[in-house]
Amino acid sequence: MNEKLRAKIAADETAYGLWVTMESPAVIEVAAELGLDWVVIDLEHGYLSYEHVANHLRAAKGTDLSVIVRVPSHDLEPTKRVLDLGAHGLVVPLVRSAADVEQIQKYAYYPPRGERGLGGERNVRWGLGLEDYIKRANDEIMIFPMIEVKEATAAFDDIIALDQVEAVIFGPGDLSSSYGHLGQWEAPGVGEEILELVGRAKAKGIASAVVARNADDVVARRDQGFGMVALGSDAGMIVRHVSDIGKALGRTTVDHRWF
């Protein structure tokens, strides 16, 4: 798992992805057919269930697409369940300290690295691939701390110093809210701080990820040094495209400032 994504990070190439909020496995099939490198399935917001995660993973089987899940909390239950379904990695939301990331690592990795328990689920091919999976899992599972609150920026150096942190994901909107600018995607000063943190991470060989809001933003993020850029979210891209068509037709549409 994650071979293509890791190879691009190692080669300092931009890996392009998609944020997934919809339940149809066709979203994953299309992402793979388009040659994207990674997707994040969002369980923190919205209505997706563990069953939806399983179906997305089935759609990705046989491809080199990295399927990462944003869990809703730092708790044991969602961590172990999405990994038992076969997720290739985890996005950790609302990280405030290195200890938050270490907690997820403890739940995600098998002993002696962590405390993950053995199960006979989809990830180990219902027990038929147990031996092979447990030999590889600790090295292959990727964990992505999400930098979206100001406490995380203060603890940033400690977070990127942790073992097996290969990339971090920035949430400009929530980070702006954390600094008192609720509803702004990238408030004054926040963009500059993010880029400074991206540079610090890159100096240590750690990639930075972000969700872009449109085609121009994808190019800008690539040029700013982000190693992982999501082209948008599935639902957001539909809204964006239909809104743009509506504007071309002279119809009143909702402004799409977010992704």
Compute the distance between CA of residue 166 and CA of residue 208 in angstroms, rounded to an integer. 9
Q: How far apart are CA 158 and CA 115, in angstroms?
A: 22
Average pLDDT over residues 3-29: 97
Q: Whose structure tokens read 């031996």?
A: 131
Residue 13 C-alpha from the chain's centroid? 17
Using pLDDT thresholds of 50, 70 and 90, give the confidence band for residue 22: very high
Q: What is the pLDDT of residue 246?
A: 86
The span from the CA of 258 to the CA of 118, in Å, is 40
CA angle 217, 223, 225 (to 5 degrees): 110
The superfamily in CATH containing domain 3-248 is Phosphoenolpyruvate-binding domains (3.20.20.60)
What pLDDT shows up at residue 250? 86
Q: In the predicted model, is pLDDT for residue 258 greater than 60?
A: no
* 63 CB-near residues (< 8 Å, 6+ apart): 32
**Domain residue extents for the chain:** 3-248
**What are the pLDDT digits (tens) for 149-185?**
999 999 999 999 999 999 999 999 999 999 999 989 9
Given the residues 45, 52, 56, 181, select the one marked as catalytic.
45
> In sequence order, what DSSP letters do the residues of 220-256 get, joined into one string?
HHHHTT-SEEEEEEHHHHHHHHHHHHHHHTT------
Would strands 38-42 and 89-92 be described as parallel, antiparallel, or unpaired? Answer: unpaired
Does 45 participate in catalysis according to the annotation? yes
73: confidence class by pLDDT, cuts 50, 70, 90: very high
Phi, psi (5° rounding) for residue 125?
55, 45
Q: What is the pLDDT of residue 162?
A: 97
